């Protein structure tokens, strides 16, 4: 049973590493942005109270991990058993309630503060950082603009910090020789609690991978109606079945690049950008706009003038200028011209493909 308790102590290490990489990752992104990456001008380096709080919390968490790594010792950790106090019934949810069981004594157990095997726990922190890299690190400011620079740099800074923890652990143990010298009767297996955590993590990971595989086999986008020069002759006036419908659209790009547009903030670093591209489908112009992961549309349109690309999204008439004024400025008339009455609007919902 002590191996389960030690697994909880390993989770505590992972928790502090997570707090450190998230808090200091934001600071690292701000500092890296000062080095003119992608030709972007260095932003003003200002900190308010919440920024300083994040920095202090991150430094405290990173210091806690470093202290236990560089000055290893056998810790008397503790764990109190818990009990289920019954679900909390809310109007829209049922929340389980778990409380410490005060009727049972707190369990104390020895726990080594560091071990080379803990590198396999540090890998969880690296995995978390890689998830952020996958989600945010692909939106290069070359495509999405300098306002996106800190968002782009944050996951890479977090990944660098996450990699630093296992390197520090191995450097301290093997180079600095800062190890625990325990007599044989006090030696504790570091692998069993690690195996427990990896086994627990493997179950949801496998289920997620299976679900993603099944979703990939579904090919739901391939089942959408195809809009091209043959099926869309005459535009929405003739083909009302495509009005406000999700479609696959094959269109020819009229311009070599997509346009960034839609900034509604005073400070450029606070802008929420959109991307717009103008295509032709037969005799109809289609203004395609993507509001999430805008770099995907910009990549698809980059230097592809005169070529056909495929977009997946919702096809509809041009929106009211009062509702979306930005659509008739940088994303529309200012960049692509006013167009005619047959111009339609495609709200790009899914990644583009060629």
Residues β-bridged to residue 252: 280, 308
Task: Give me the tens of pLDDT residue by residue for the chain, a chain 354 residues long.
Answer: 567 888 889 999 999 999 999 999 988 988 888 887 777 777 777 777 788 888 999 999 999 999 999 999 988 888 777 777 767 777 666 777 777 777 778 888 888 999 999 999 999 999 999 988 887 766 666 555 666 778 888 999 999 999 999 999 999 999 999 988 776 656 777 888 899 989 888 888 788 777 766 655 444 677 789 999 999 988 888 898 999 888 999 999 888 777 776 555 545 455 556 777 888 898 899 988 887 666 677 777 776 777 888 888 889 888 877 677 666 665 655 667 666 678 888 888 765 555
| Residues sharing a CB contact under 8 Å with residue 239, sequence separation 6 or more, in sequence order | 231, 232
What the chain holds in terms of domains, given with CATH numbers, is 2-215 (no CATH), 226-348 (2.40.50)
Q: DSSP secondary-structure letter at 325?
A: G
Instruction: Determine the pLDDT at residue 141.
Output: 65
95 vs 347: CA distance, rounded Å: 37
317 vs 323: CA distance, rounded Å: 13
Tokens at 83, concatenated:
């009990």
Residues β-bridged to residue 79: 107
36 vs 43: CA distance, rounded Å: 9
Residues across the chain: 354
* Element holding 210 (H helix, E strand): helix 191-218
Phi, psi of 319 (to 5 degrees): -65, 170
Tokens at 308, concatenated:
């056909």
Instruction: Determine the pLDDT at residue 186.
Output: 62
The alpha-helical segments, DSSP class H, found in 47-136 are 49-70, 119-136
Q: What is the largest CA-CA distance in the chain?
A: 85
Residues β-bridged to residue 246: 314
CA dihedral 208, 213, 214, 217 (to 10 degrees): 160
Rg over CA atoms, the chain: 27
């Amino acid at each position: 049973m002590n191996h389960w308790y030690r697994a909880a102590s390993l989770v505590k290490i992972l928790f502090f590493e997570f707090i450190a990489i998230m808090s200091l990752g934001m600071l690292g992104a701000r500092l890296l942005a000062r080095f003119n990456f992608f030709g972007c001008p260095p932003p003003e380096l200002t900190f308010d109270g919440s920024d300083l709080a994040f920095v202090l919390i991150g430094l405290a968490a990173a210091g806690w991990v470093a202290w236990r790594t560089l000055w290893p010792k056998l810790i008397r950790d503790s764990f109190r058993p818990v009990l289920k106090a019954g679900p909390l019934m809310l109007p829209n949810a049922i929340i389980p309630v778990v409380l410490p069981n005060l009727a049972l004594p707190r369990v104390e157990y020895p726990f080594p503060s560091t071990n080379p095997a803990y590198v396999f726990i540090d890998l969880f922190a690296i995995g978390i950082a890689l998830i952020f890299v996958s989600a945010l690190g692909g939106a290069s400011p070359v495509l999405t603009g300098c306002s996106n620079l800190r968002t782009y740099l944050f996951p890479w800074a977090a990944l660098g910090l996450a990699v630093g923890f296992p390197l520090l652990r191995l450097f301290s143990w093997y180079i600095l020789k800062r190890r625990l010298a325990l007599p044989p009767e006090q030696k504790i297996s570091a692998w069993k609690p690690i195996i427990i955590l990896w086994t627990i993590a493997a179950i949801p990971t496998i289920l997620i991978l299976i679900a993603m595989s099944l979703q990939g086999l579904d090919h739901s986008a391939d089942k959408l109606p195809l809009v091209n020069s043959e099926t869309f002759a005459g535009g929405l006036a003739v083909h009302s079945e495509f009005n406000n419908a999700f479609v696959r659209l094959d269109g020819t790009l009229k311009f070599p690049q997509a346009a960034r547009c839609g900034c509604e903030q005073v400070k450029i670093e606070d802008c929420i950008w959109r991307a717009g591209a103008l295509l032709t489908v037969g005799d109809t112009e289609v203004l395609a706009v993507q509001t999430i992961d805008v770099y995907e549309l910009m990549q698809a349109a980059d230097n592809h003038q005169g070529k056909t690309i495929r977009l997946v999204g919702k096809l509809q008439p041009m929106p009211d200028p009062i509702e979306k004024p930005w659509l008739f400025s940088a994303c529309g008339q200012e960049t692509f011209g006013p167009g005619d009455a047959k111009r339609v609007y495609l709200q790009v919902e899914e990644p583009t493909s060629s």
